[in-house]
Amino acid sequence: LTGSAVANPNPSNFDREYLVPVIIGAVTPQTINMDLDTGSSDLWVFSNSTPGAQATGHVVYQPNTCNASTCAKLLPGETWSIQYSDMSSSSGIVYSDLVTIGGAAVSSQAVEAAQIVSSSFTTDTANSGLLGMAFSSLNTCRPQQQLTWFDNIKASLAAEVWTANLQKGAAGTYNFGYIDSTAYNSNITYTPVSTLRGFWEFTFSGYQLGSSSFVTTDMAAIADTGTTLLLLPSAVVESYWAQVPSAHLEPSLGAYIYPCSATPPNFTFGIGSYRGVVPGSYLAYGPVSSQWCYGGIQSQGSSPFSVFGDVLLKAQFVVFDVGNLRIGYAAK
């Protein structure tokens, strides 16, 4: 078994997120556009349990709890509640239902129906749910923790692997169970993943800012499709933006902005001897005013790891190798 699904950048805002059409339900299938998120492990959706004012503009999951075995089933007593570090949150109840992504189906997937969603989810009307692809140890369902869609399907796949091939301003692809050798043009460099924090966490061997020399130093990072930007230690971020005249940390935003007339420098990361290049044009996130633009590289703050978000991932072909607990990067 394999699967392949399109990853559509949110059309209106600078590739802020990538949405995948997910089909939920057997008796009454619904296609719901969801954000496949390697930074979390809950599959949750706007639903008929979400208050109307919070669900305005969204496709909502309507579980068909008929009597046949193929119907949705409420999991009695199961609840979930998640808070993300951008202070957004959601919570609710849990059904079991058929969930198909790119032709690959899981018959009894925990589908977390939202009863409450925070305002930033309500306003993001292109996104009607999150599909967690980090490790199941982070799933918030209680009293019985639930498995991610990938954990449920991996034994049925040709290989316990999936890949992300996101694109800048264009549709990309998530493939499940196989590696498309036509999708990249260098060897894939793999490095071990630590699951201790439940993320796709790995060590990278250093970085290069623009045309400066490569800095060799082991650093921790997570690969996070659910985070838009590239988050790095504040000292590295300061050095990076120092290369762009007039770029500065804007206190009111808590973020670096730079003159839109400038093109930010490239960012290169190392994995062993592999060098992954993120073109400067990928690090221009979007305008905050007529002349100032929001940088694609920002500080990771107090986080103990960097966050390789979409602005970096879209420049690479990324292999999430669950079977061997490793992550692979290749140029494309």
Nearer to ligand 1VS, 83 or 212 (CB): 83
Reported residue count of the chain is: 332
Enzyme catalytic residues: 37, 224
Q: What is residue 224's three-state secondary structure?
A: coil
The residue from 83, 120, 137, 216 that contacts ligand 1VS (CB under 6 A) is: 120
Q: Is 226 in the site for ligand 1VS (CB under 6 A)?
A: yes
Q: Is 231 in the site for ligand 1VS (CB under 6 A)?
A: yes
What is the DSSP secondary structure assignment for residue 214, as one 8-state letter? P
DSSP E strand boundaries for 118-266 = 129-132, 161-165, 172-176, 189-192, 201-209, 215-223, 230-232, 248-250, 255-259
What is the DSSP secondary structure assignment for residue 177, as one 8-state letter? S
Stretch that binds ligand 1VS, among 47-55, 83-91, 148-156, 242-250 (CB under 6 A): 83-91
Q: Rounded to the nearest 5 degrees, what angle is found at the Cα of 20, between the Cα atoms of 15 and 25?
A: 155
Neighbouring C-alpha atoms within 13 Å toward the C-beta of 222? 25
The residue from 113, 166, 223, 307 that contacts ligand 1VS (CB under 6 A) is: 307
State the Rg of the chain over Cα.
20
Least Cβ distance, residue 54 to ligand 1VS (angstroms): 14
76 CB contacts (<8 Å, ≥6 apart)? Answer: none
Stretch that binds ligand 1VS, among 26-34, 54-62, 140-148, 295-303 (CB under 6 A): 295-303
Q: Give the rounded distance of the alpha carbon of 24 from its chain centre.
A: 20
Burial of 289 (0-12, 13-18, 19+ CB in 10 A): exposed
Nearer to ligand 1VS, 37 or 97 (CB): 37
Q: What is residue 302's three-state secondary structure?
A: coil
Q: Is 180 in the site for ligand 1VS (CB under 6 A)?
A: no
Least Cβ distance, residue 10 to ligand 1VS (angstroms): 9
The residue from 25, 39, 198, 265 that contacts ligand 1VS (CB under 6 A) is: 39
**How far is Cα 202 from Cα 276, in angstroms, rounded to an integer?**
15
The residue from 85, 137, 187, 281 that contacts ligand 1VS (CB under 6 A) is: 85
**How far is Cα 198 from Cα 40, in angstroms, rounded to an integer?**
8
Stretch that binds ligand 1VS, among 179-187, 212-220, 297-305, 321-329 (CB under 6 A): 297-305
Nearer to ligand 1VS, 42 or 188 (CB): 42
Q: Is 57 in the site for ligand 1VS (CB under 6 A)?
A: no
Judged by the rule CB under 6 A, the positions of this chain that interact with ligand 1VS are: 17, 35, 37, 39-40, 84-86, 88, 120, 124, 127, 130, 224, 226-227, 231, 300-301, 303, 307
